[in-house]
Amino acid sequence: MLVGMYYNNSDVRVEEMPIPKVNKGEILVKVLASGICGSDVMEWYRIKRAPLVLGHEVTGEIVTLGEGVKNYNLGDRVFVSHHVPCNSCRYCLSGNHTVCKTLHTTNFYPGGFSEYILVPSINVEIGTFILPDEVSFEEGTFIEPLACVIRGQREAIVSYGQNILILGGGISGLLHLLLARVSCVGRIFVTDINDYRLKLAKQLGADEVFHAKEDIEKRLREVNDNKLADLVIVCTTAITAFMQALKCVEPAGTILCFAPTEPGVSLPLPVNEFWRNSIKIIHSYANSPQDAIIAIELIRSRKVPVAKLITHLLPLSKIQEGFKLVAQGKESIKVIIQPHRKE
């Protein structure tokens, strides 16, 4: 089978690998759509494990069932989670699935940018979901990123009447915007350095958009009755965005660090000021199986219209072009690889 082998952001090669052999409890999925995630182009994070096949936003059809597999049939349209929790450790039982040790060690093989993936038994049992007929394979690639956003907003306790500032208008920021609109919050503001993304954010329902190089604190006060944001969501790894977040949150507000910084970066946190004003800083990584179930329904019902975010559909032969589009982040939002598509 053909795979997209990652060496670095500028070197993603189409290579051949054997189709994995299916053992007891496993399934083989023919990959029909696989989204390129922003984390796939975080070179500092990925290159230390290269060469490898990336891709974790995967949908396809079951083509082989291992012995003992129940609840699935050949030809089923599915979304497959790459990381799954054990659902039985103390972290899972307290609702903290994303720090489960099992979640950090599970994955399908070799990665979504391939013609087929082998799904281990635990991923079959806990992380494989039937794709509703109303959801296309391409729309299904949003299940994982939307599930992560669902978890983040639940952790941040998004509620009616809040004003939200989203720092970063890429795919994560725009999904936060769309989900927040479902929750009937107050006003939503989006920043980015890219005018293309700001224009799309406005079209998708942002009340105001700001160029990230502006004085965001000042601009917020100008358009928001001299108030800052009740919730600030950081959706970019740029350290400047984290610094802006510290300045743009209202008393009793929350900063949600949805994206990480590069390793070794520290923030000068105004502890006394935040203590006096009851400001919280929280983090959110990955998602739980329940978040995926909610994401599937939000996509199926069109309450979160993810199709509006798809800008490029590419065959596996053009995966290098796809990585370039995502890494540059100019006029693209969601780039999806279709491994079995002919040029």
pLDDT along the chain (343 residues), means of 10: 98 98 98 97 94 98 98 98 98 98 98 98 98 98 98 96 97 98 93 98 98 98 98 96 97 97 91 97 98 98 98 98 96 98 86
Alpha helices in the chain (DSSP H): 43-46, 90-93, 121-127, 137-140, 143-155, 171-182, 195-203, 216-223, 239-247, 271-276, 289-300, 319-328
> What is this structure's pTM?
0.97
Q: 222-255 burial string, b = 16+ CB within 10 Å, else e? A: eebeeebbbbbbbbbbbeebbebbbebbbeebbb
DSSP label of 20: P
Residue that has been written with the tokens 């290579």 in this structure: 15
Query: Which pLDDT does position 262 carry in this prediction?
Result: 87
Rounded to whole angstroms, the Cα distance separating 238 from 69 reads: 44
Paired sense of beta strands 208-211 and 188-192, if any: parallel
Query: Which pLDDT does position 307 carry in this prediction?
Result: 98
Structural domains for the chain: 2-144+287-338 (3.90.180.10), 157-283 (3.40.50.720)
The pair of three-digit structure tokens given for residue 296, joined into one six-digit string = 């599937």
Query: Which pLDDT does position 184 carry in this prediction?
Result: 79
The closest of 316, 312, 339 to 328, measured between CA atoms, is 312
The pair of three-digit structure tokens given for residue 281, joined into one six-digit string = 């800083």
Rounded to whole angstroms, the Cα distance separating 92 from 37 reads: 25
Query: Which pLDDT does position 185 carry in this prediction?
Result: 84
